[in-house]
Chain A
Amino acid sequence: MIPAFVPLKILRYGFRKKYPAERFIPPAKDLKKSYDVVIIGGGGHALACAYYLAHTHGITNVCVLERGYLAGGNTARNTAIIRSNYLTPEGVRFYEQSLKLYREFSQELDFNILYSERGHFTLAHTDAAVRTSRWRAEVNKQLGVNSELIYPDEIARLCPHLNMSDKVRYPIMGALYHPPGSIARHDAVAWAYARGAAKLGVEIHQQTPVTKILVENGTVKGVETPRGTVYANRVMQAVAGNTSMVAKMAGFRLPIRTIPLQACVSVPLKPFLDQIVVSGSLHVYVSQSSRGELVMGGSTDPYGLYSTRSTLDFKEGLLGHMLELLPMLGEVKVLRQWAGMTDMTPDFSPIMGLTPVKNYYIDSGWGTWGFKATPVCGMTMAHTIANDSPHDLIKPFYLDRFVEYAQVGEKGAASVGH
């Protein structure tokens, strides 16, 4: 039995001024007339960039403009998979740097993001997929990334819940196994960067859409919002599904299509699935969150849309395939569903760095796979803005690669795996 005085003690503790409830970001102030840097968008990428500008480059006169609420876009809609087992050396190097930052994240920002290493399995159901897995494993190992092609006996040992039967439409023939594959609490990532940036003096303004971008003689001068005009020496956009519309305000077009990506979770179950399991042929991926919910998703919608509606077709297709992998889930109910608008590029790599407008920078084309890149995007974009020159790690992702036919083809590693 709890002694009667304990609740009183807790109450007294609660009312003490010594431990006030923490406010992550200071209450909104008026917008200033001008800033050194204005960042359009208030998702993880934008906030990470603001943090590194202030933290690494000492640029603190920075303003983040978010049209809705912080991390209300894809940052809080993704399925939180983090991995670096990509296909191209350019990609692998970049994502591997992000994983390094993620491992130190909770420590550096003093914020628990529940980073949880699970092991990531990309199942191969065809000879072609086995071949791609081998290819990825070799590229990965060459660059120091832990990644291996494994076969059914080992898959069954590591992941005993999977249906290894060959009496299904797509029997499992092998898997690319990536032990560092992880999940993390996605909104915590954004809040941690927001708090970190705000502590260093960055202003964060929610409910403040950018409605116009001021460009003079090919150089950006500032932005307009319903709360007034804001001038800036440098401007960056990181607006995910709205990338094309915002770039259009700055006066240029991009090789990007906005396509919804849907996801859903099951009711919470006792922990049984440690791993993150992805199947390209079946268009599904699944992991179990720390709350016990199965987090499930697939490939993007069949056509472009600026909408976050959910469809029955998506769930029917996804769950049908899910039952092929994990038949014992037959009676489990879906609890929530949602969608995000993703900015898809033709080569499944991002578009980052300088733009045709001077002093205007872009972090875009993150499609369905940009959560894992949040720290490295912040770091490299901050460098790019501070030096008006792209960071080495993002040079391959320059916009003009499409005109120069120098795409960085990641479809084999990014189309369903995210």
Chain B
Amino acid sequence: MKIMNCPLNGPRNISEFVWGGEVKPMPDPAATSDQDWAEWLFLENNEAGIVREWWCHVPTSFWFIAERNTVTDEILKTYPAGDVFKSRVDFAAKAEKQS
């Protein structure tokens, strides 16, 4: 079986992981347009080549980032999400519409 290196648990069978999709910057849900929100939700680069993605180690629910080549099926690098996201992102709650 293919082996992936989990930054928390070390090398494990790929069957212990779940693919989470591309890392993309999330727009501020309170400030963004429906169009931009839908694009963030649904549109994919779906690159043939090197991609940066979310992965989850299921037994520990540990989310991390992996770089892999989608043409050669090679995993190049895995690292904790904290290496990319250095600080907590807070979004203000959208003000309720007054009727």
Interface residues of A (CB under 8 A from B): 242, 244-245, 253-258, 302-307, 309, 311-313, 346, 402-403, 405
Contacts and interface: CB of A to CB of B under 8 A. Distances in A.
Interface string B31-52: 0001100110111111110000
Contacts of B44: 244, 253-257
B38 A405 contact: yes
Contact of B1 (A245, A307, A313, A346): A313
B80 to A, nearest CB: 20
B71 interface: yes
Given A253-B45, A302-B14, A309 B19 contact: no
B34 A403 contact: yes
Contact of B48 (A255, A256, A302, A306): A306
Main secondary structure of the interface of B (DSSP, over half): mixed
5 contacts: A244-B47, A253-B44, A258-B48, A313-B2, A402-B38
Contacts of B21: 257
A306 B15 contact: no
B19 A302 contact: yes
A311 B47 CA distance: 22
B43 A253 contact: yes
A270 B45 CA distance: 47
A244 B45 contact: yes
A298 to B, nearest CB: 14
Interface of B: 1-2, 14-15, 17-19, 21, 34-35, 38-39, 41-48, 70-73
A345 to B, nearest CB: 9
A302 B18 contact: yes
Contacts of B48: 242, 245, 258, 306
A257 B73 contact: no
Given A307-B71, A309-B73, A312-B1, A302 B43 contact: no
Contact of A254 (B1, B46, B47): B46
A255 B47 CA distance: 12
B54 to A, nearest CB: 11
A302 B46 contact: no
Given A312-B1, A403-B38, A305 B73 contact: yes
B40 to A, nearest CB: 11
A242 B2 CA distance: 24
B70 A403 contact: no
A303 B19 contact: yes
A311 B48 CA distance: 20
